[in-house]
Structure 1
């Protein structure tokens, strides 16, 4: 597991480095001062990003937010100096998948990172499934609208309208929803299909 450590707390960073150094299955890379989080993730390709916010500020959360919407998305584990409900909500909204108060004993960090990665992967799968379901609903609504226009303008039954769209999709080797969308865009009431 490759871990990108972006921690301003030198003592904690050293303690974490020592823990990670004792485990050959873990590789630790550090964020270079002045380097953006996105650049570091692009350069190192970590499995997880470990971030410390000693003094929670907008810039730190903005960099996490930018990472969350970039093509280099990674699970982000956040360490903070004190428990703050508003910061926790803002952190989760920014894309953090694990929020931890500094008192976390260093020995508990590895299981915490594994849990964060598993949670992140599960969230991404759920997010992908939701996106697919939303697209299917949108496609179905487009096909239904196109069928309704065909039925109205060409006096077709619903099965005939569906066969008309399906035949065009097969002839053009395109998705049914794409053909329906094109038909809706180019047709108007009274225009023959």
Structure 2
């Protein structure tokens, strides 16, 4: 696993890196001076990122927010020197997995790393489930709209309309939602061809 340490505090960066390097399963990289966080993520493709908010090359959380692009998205653990509720809420809103207030490097940062990865994995799973639920809801809405139009045009019951769409889906090897979309496109959403 590759860990990218992005910390301008050299003492803490060294302590974090040394602690992580003690684990042979981790490849630990530090951002070279003058390198933007997003450029380092693109270059090194880390599995997880440890970030100190004191980095001078960032404007607030913009660099971390830029990591929300699908190709760059990674679990991010944020280290700050002081507690700030507004910063913490903003950090979680943009996808930070672990928000840690530290005045000195922890004796063992690996639990924080594991927590960030676990929270990131859980967030990704939840987001995937939400996306799937939204897709299913949109498909059901489309099917219901097509059934209503079919019932009106063909003077049928809802069961008859659904059976027609299901049979048509099997005949054309398409999903019922695709058949419903085709029907609506062919007959107009209000029933006019």
The TM-score normalised by the length of structure 2 is 0.90
Contact 2:7 2:55 in 1 (8 A): no
Distance 2:19 2:49 in 1: 16
Deviations 1:104-149 (A, max 9, x none): 6422311111011011101111111111111111111110110000
- 2:143 maps to 143
Corresponding residue for 1:187?
A: 187
Can you give the 5+ residue segments of structure 1 that lack an aligned partner in the other structure? none
How far does the alpha carbon of each residue in 1:148-181 deviate from its partner, in whole angstroms, 9 at most, with x for none? 0000111122122112212222232221112212
Task: Count the aligned residue pairs.
Answer: 192
| Equivalent-residue separation in structure 1 for 2:165 and 2:23 (angstroms) | 60
Cα distance change, pair 169–38 in 1 and its aligned pair in 2 (3 A): farther
Moved more, 148-157 or 48-57: 48-57
Distance 1:166 1:6, change over 3 A: same
CA distance in 2, matches of 1:51, 1:173: 49
Query: How far has the Cα of 1:55 moved from its partner?
Result: 6.5
Question: Is contact 1:79-1:100 (8 Å) kept?
Answer: yes
Measure, in 2, the Cα distance between the counterparts of 1:94 and 1:42.
18
Unaligned runs of 5+ in 2: none
Do the aligned residues in 2 keep the contact of 1:2 with 1:47 (CA within 8 Å)? Answer: yes
Aligned to 1:68: 68
Counterpart contact for 1:3–1:48, Cα < 8 Å: yes
